[in-house]
Structure 1
Amino acid sequence: MSNNSVSTSEEPKLEENNHPNIVFVLADQWRAQEIGYAGNDQIITPNLDKLASESLIFENAVTTMAVCAPWRASFLTGQYPLTHGVFYNDKPLPNEALTLAEIYKEAGYATGYIGKWHLNGHARGADPFSARDQPVPKDRRQGFDYWKVREVTHNYNNSFYFDENDEKHTWEGYDVFPQTDSAISFISKNKEKPFVLMLSYGPPHDPYFSAPKEYQELYDAGTLKLRPNVPEEYQDSARRVLAGYYAHATAIDKAIGDLLAGIDKAGIADNTIFVFTSEHGDMLMSRGVVKKQRPWDEAIKVPMLLRYPDKFGTRSKRVLDPIGTPDLLPTLLGLSEIPIPESIEGKDFSANLLAGKDLENEATLIMLPVPFHEWQFKNGGREYRGIRTRRYTYVTDLLGPWLLYDNEKDPYQLTNLVNQAEYKGLQKEMEAILKRKLKATHDQFLPADEYMTQWNYLYDRSDSLRAENYLEINR
């Protein structure tokens, strides 16, 4: 732990559970549009819909960098990717990072983590996926004590994990369900004192067709409606993928219903901040592609619900201003009445929320410092920076302005307004906001190679391959 880390005292500072518990549930690759309370009438999510009726609903929760490990590092540290250095999957979050669990632990909280971790990384020069099946050493758990974790797997059936003692176990059946059972057990055993628990599910991240059969049978791919930005030649494939994706989502919804019932049974619902969100979305054949990294809403917008009855009651309220990944930790700390360390770069919006106001945040930053894996350079990936406001998306690449959308008039982002004369004033306004955001985060927007060199990283496999004029080719 670095000098700016909190120290661990022998006696907890909180003698009784008068500070809120935190239960943070994270899905992987669940995009904002695919959930009942958001207006989707073909997905089955009754428990999340009920939760939404009792929660703050963040309409514009935006992942700052739409990839797994970078999101996790930014959430746990409250920092931007170029500060903590995890801007590429399977790179290690430094031990020196000051994280959520360490901060809450110093305040007297019990800490627990269940599910996918994806922050241990691999040694420089090792196979890029070499650490995914290995235990995470105790000093790499960033302050979490209760521990039932797999670094990374996308096999959600009878998958294995490691406990606090690095002993290997199996999640029997579809792992979402035994992971949820462990979470309920943790809550029951820790209900007399404040705790922070993070439950990190693997799905609905692909593979899309591995949910339990009973959930797959709920969806007929042939009847599913698609977003209008799915090209015609991909629509049959998109419906099949969407049906499998929905099956995972409905299975998770069932697990969340069980988890909420466990919280009710423990008698701590009123004093528990319950958050449901996702790391990033999935293109799901919009624009003819799948997965993430890209700056379009299907990849960057995620569902987010926050229920805290003691402070917000149990009536639904929609929050319209955008909130970014680094803002989540300081806002949770603010709601928990825990001082916010200087290392945190995100904004604390708790005062606005408690006052019944919107966030008063004009925009949140989106970025991709280094394209990699499924969107590597040779597949059309490019470095970009951008902003998402309530209404607009504006993105630049290394050549200059790239994308501008009016998401109110054009919700499927079919018409790029960049460099059109009639939108010159709007583009200038968006560019000014972006420049302020980059200045505030000390982001010089350099080519990918510069950041890889600064952090002594190696590209994985063929990620670095590109034509000299790859940006012009992708225009």
Structure 2
Amino acid sequence: MMKTYPLVTALVLFCSCLLQAQDKPNLLIIHTDEHNLRTIGAYRNTMSEEQAMMWGKDVIVETPHLDRIANEGVLCKNWYATSPVCTPSRASMMTGLYPVATGSPVNDMPLNDDVITFGQILKDNGYSTSYVGKWHLDGEDKPGFAPKRKFGFEHNRYMINRGHWKALKEEENGVIVDQKKNKKGHMVFDQDKVDEKSFTTDFLVDRALKILEQDKDKPFCLMLSIPDPHGPNQVRAPYNTMYDHLTFEEPRTIYKEGDLSPGWVARKGKKHNTKPIKQNAMRQYYGMVKCIDDNVGRILKFLEDNDLEKNTIVIFTSDHGDLLREHGKDNKGLPYEMSARVAFMLRYPSKIKKNKTIQKAFSMADFTPTILGIMGVDQSAYTFHGANAAKDFTSKKSVIDMDRTVYITNARSKWVAAVDARYKLVVSPSDEPWLFDLEKDPDELVNYYNDPEYKSIAKRLKDELYPQMKEFDEPLLKKGGI
């Protein structure tokens, strides 16, 4: 009998380790770039028909797989980029800090060496950590495959620092851009030659699935950051012609000569776009969204087929939005809703009930402390600017409607804003304060700041904004004029 003790002991230890591994939830983050909320069915369902159909009645792209994440989990109605530009938003998400504290307050500025990401924290807690896709936190290197500084993501072979390449190829030594240069030296995407193996979205999802297959029997954290639907607006077949039947109307808020517009809208050298909406560009944008959704379906099926659904936290979010011609502007960088507000949906069957809605406002600074809280990871040794909102996600309530004011900022110190579930106050040295009532005026066309009925609301938001600006070292405060 004595000779069996080592075997029994080893077996007990193995079972104990196995149970510990099973207790740890997996984390899978699907992250897109410059993604307009109106192209996601789950978010259109939270809007009036007028808001959901900004480009015309039934001019929509269906996203059943993205919608499934919301239907089987929680949808956050008011999640904002701390700064609606790629690098600073990503920096906040990774660290739980405001951009100015990370070394990356504007695009192409690298993270400080000493910042700690959620990837590092999870790695230190026994997780296999991987990052696939666009990173944009290692400075100006372009494309910058597999940066030397990993920030806790031990598997980063498929990490791309920056650039929106449409075709990728894997070689023995790593990943390369599979596009040719034109006469001007620009990398050109040939839609006729790129397929479901080489198109970047598909390529990255294939690699993510490969990593998940390798790591499925141990606790894992994988972040998949898809560069689309950021421009250039091109997608592979059959998505490139899938929406040719649609005709896009100009948004109601399209700028017209003489319209009253905040001073912070007209950036230096950037005038309002008064040209007709580009039909093909919009159709291609829809195609990119549909391609993303189909690939999300592949990922969800993998989790289902491998019995990983229950214990895997699946998150879908984006770094910032895309105005897509609203207010006469394209892209991002402004405090308008479709620039600054992003999708945030989370599914975790073990702890979070289905069909849950959180109306309370959050920002990307809340991501790291909240996700660590949901996962039960001790974060007492770390300092975050964001809040740990795990209790809001795991509570039994179907709707969380408590109010909270978050502070968001512009990467170039042009404006700052205080936002809650209904109101938004924007202050800037280039104009008087603007106060939006997002319930009464969801198009964000009316300034209620000087309306006597809104005096107390304006005061409350200012009283909440300025202490946050001071606490988080907002650069605009030092420049004065606000």
TM-score, scaled relative to structure 2? 0.80
Once residues 57 and 168 of structure 1 are traced to their aligned partners in structure 2, the CA distance between those partners, rounded to angstroms, is: 35
Alignment of 1:360-371 (within 5 A): 360-370=402-412
Superposed displacement of residue 312, structure 1: 1.4
1:19 matched to 2:24: yes
1:37 matched to 2:42: yes
TM-aligned CA distance change 1:221 to 1:368, over 3 Å: farther
Does the Cα contact within 8 Å between 2:370 and 2:390 map onto a contact in 1?
Answer: yes
TM-aligned CA distance change 1:44 to 1:65, over 3 Å: same
| SS state at 1:273 partner | strand
Once residues 283 and 224 of structure 2 are traced to their aligned partners in structure 1, the CA distance between those partners, rounded to angstroms, is: 24
1:427 matched to 2:436: no
Does the Cα contact within 8 Å between 2:86 and 2:320 map onto a contact in 1?
Answer: yes
What one-letter code is carried by the residue in structure 1 that aligns with 2:418? I
| SS state at 2:331 partner | coil
1:134 matched to 2:173: no
Superposed displacement of residue 409, structure 1: 0.7
Does the Cα contact within 8 Å between 1:37 and 1:48 map onto a contact in 2?
Answer: yes
- Which 10-residue stretch deviates more, 319-328 or 225-234? 225-234
For residue 216 of structure 2, what is the aligned residue in structure 1? 191
TM-aligned CA distance change 1:412 to 1:402, over 3 Å: same
TM-aligned CA distance change 1:399 to 1:227, over 3 Å: closer
1:330 matched to 2:365: no
For residue 429 of structure 2, what is the aligned residue in structure 1? 398
Once residues 134 and 399 of structure 1 are traced to their aligned partners in structure 2, the CA distance between those partners, rounded to angstroms, is: 37
Does the Cα contact within 8 Å between 1:293 and 1:299 map onto a contact in 2?
Answer: yes
Once residues 437 and 294 of structure 1 are traced to their aligned partners in structure 2, the CA distance between those partners, rounded to angstroms, is: 19
Once residues 443 and 85 of structure 1 are traced to their aligned partners in structure 2, the CA distance between those partners, rounded to angstroms, is: 13
Does the Cα contact within 8 Å between 1:227 and 1:412 map onto a contact in 2?
Answer: no
For residue 253 of structure 2, what is the aligned residue in structure 1? 229
TM-aligned CA distance change 1:418 to 1:112, over 3 Å: same
What one-letter code is carried by the residue in structure 1 that aligns with 2:223? M
TM-aligned CA distance change 1:229 to 1:159, over 3 Å: same
Structure 1 residues not aligned, in runs of 5+:
1-11, 123-130, 372-382, 451-470
What one-letter code is carried by the residue in structure 2 that aligns with 1:88? V
What one-letter code is carried by the residue in structure 2 that aligns with 1:197? L
Superposed displacement of residue 181, structure 1: 1.3
For residue 92 of structure 1, what is the aligned residue in structure 2? 110
TM-aligned CA distance change 1:328 to 1:306, over 3 Å: same
| SS state at 1:318 partner | strand
What one-letter code is carried by the residue in structure 2 that aligns with 1:410? D
For residue 415 of structure 1, what is the aligned residue in structure 2? 446
TM-aligned CA distance change 1:224 to 1:356, over 3 Å: farther
| SS state at 1:290 partner | coil
Superposed displacement of residue 385, structure 1: 1.1
**2:231 maps to which of 190, 202, 206:** 206
**1:167 maps to which of 144, 161, 174:** 174
Superposed displacement of residue 361, structure 1: 4.7
TM-aligned CA distance change 1:191 to 1:222, over 3 Å: closer
Does the Cα contact within 8 Å between 1:68 and 1:279 map onto a contact in 2?
Answer: yes
What one-letter code is carried by the residue in structure 1 that aligns with 2:404? E
Superposed displacement of residue 161, structure 1: 7.1
Once residues 327 and 369 of structure 1 are traced to their aligned partners in structure 2, the CA distance between those partners, rounded to angstroms, is: 18
Does the Cα contact within 8 Å between 2:120 and 2:153 map onto a contact in 1?
Answer: yes
What one-letter code is carried by the residue in structure 1 that aligns with 2:24? H
Does the Cα contact within 8 Å between 2:88 and 2:411 map onto a contact in 1?
Answer: no
**2:153 maps to which of 141, 144, 161:** 144
Superposed displacement of residue 167, structure 1: 3.0
For residue 272 of structure 1, what is the aligned residue in structure 2? 312
1:181 matched to 2:206: yes
Once residues 137 and 250 of structure 1 are traced to their aligned partners in structure 2, the CA distance between those partners, rounded to angstroms, is: 30
What one-letter code is carried by the residue in structure 1 that aligns with 2:142? R
For residue 296 of structure 1, what is the aligned residue in structure 2? 336
Does the Cα contact within 8 Å between 1:78 and 1:345 map onto a contact in 2?
Answer: yes
For residue 377 of structure 1, what is the aligned residue in structure 2? none
Once residues 236 and 221 of structure 1 are traced to their aligned partners in structure 2, the CA distance between those partners, rounded to angstroms, is: 18
TM-aligned CA distance change 1:335 to 1:159, over 3 Å: same
Once residues 439 and 400 of structure 1 are traced to their aligned partners in structure 2, the CA distance between those partners, rounded to angstroms, is: 21
Does the Cα contact within 8 Å between 1:328 and 1:346 map onto a contact in 2?
Answer: yes
Superposed displacement of residue 277, structure 1: 0.6
Superposed displacement of residue 136, structure 1: 4.3
1:220 matched to 2:263: no
What one-letter code is carried by the residue in structure 1 that aligns with 2:373? G
Does the Cα contact within 8 Å between 2:249 and 2:277 map onto a contact in 1?
Answer: no
| SS state at 1:342 partner | coil
What one-letter code is carried by the residue in structure 1 that aligns with 2:244? D
TM-aligned CA distance change 1:253 to 1:53, over 3 Å: same
Once residues 333 and 417 of structure 1 are traced to their aligned partners in structure 2, the CA distance between those partners, rounded to angstroms, is: 39
Superposed displacement of residue 113, structure 1: 0.6
What one-letter code is carried by the residue in structure 1 that aligns with 2:363? G
Once residues 14 and 132 of structure 1 are traced to their aligned partners in structure 2, the CA distance between those partners, rounded to angstroms, is: 43
Once residues 92 and 346 of structure 2 are traced to their aligned partners in structure 1, the CA distance between those partners, rounded to angstroms, is: 19
Alignment of 1:116-135 (within 5 A): 116-122=134-140, 131-135=141-145
Report the aligned-residue RMSD: 2.5
Once residues 170 and 90 of structure 2 are traced to their aligned partners in structure 1, the CA distance between those partners, rounded to angstroms, is: 19
Q: C-alpha deviations, 1:221-269, integer Å up to 9, x for none?
A: 7533553112478473254432221111011000000011111112111
Alignment: residue pair count: 415
- Which 10-residue stretch deviates more, 359-368 or 198-207? 359-368
Identity of paired residues, percent? 29
Once residues 428 and 400 of structure 1 are traced to their aligned partners in structure 2, the CA distance between those partners, rounded to angstroms, is: 18
Superposed displacement of residue 303, structure 1: 1.1
What one-letter code is carried by the residue in structure 2 that aligns with 1:299? S
Once residues 402 and 161 of structure 1 are traced to their aligned partners in structure 2, the CA distance between those partners, rounded to angstroms, is: 51
1:72 matched to 2:90: yes
Does the Cα contact within 8 Å between 1:221 and 1:240 map onto a contact in 2?
Answer: no
Once residues 411 and 66 of structure 2 are traced to their aligned partners in structure 1, the CA distance between those partners, rounded to angstroms, is: 33
Structure 2 residues not aligned, in runs of 5+:
1-16, 45-51, 53-57, 179-196, 257-272
What one-letter code is carried by the residue in structure 2 that aligns with 1:51? I
**1:155 maps to which of 150, 155, 165:** 165
Does the Cα contact within 8 Å between 2:79 and 2:362 map onto a contact in 1?
Answer: yes
Once residues 359 and 144 of structure 1 are traced to their aligned partners in structure 2, the CA distance between those partners, rounded to angstroms, is: 35
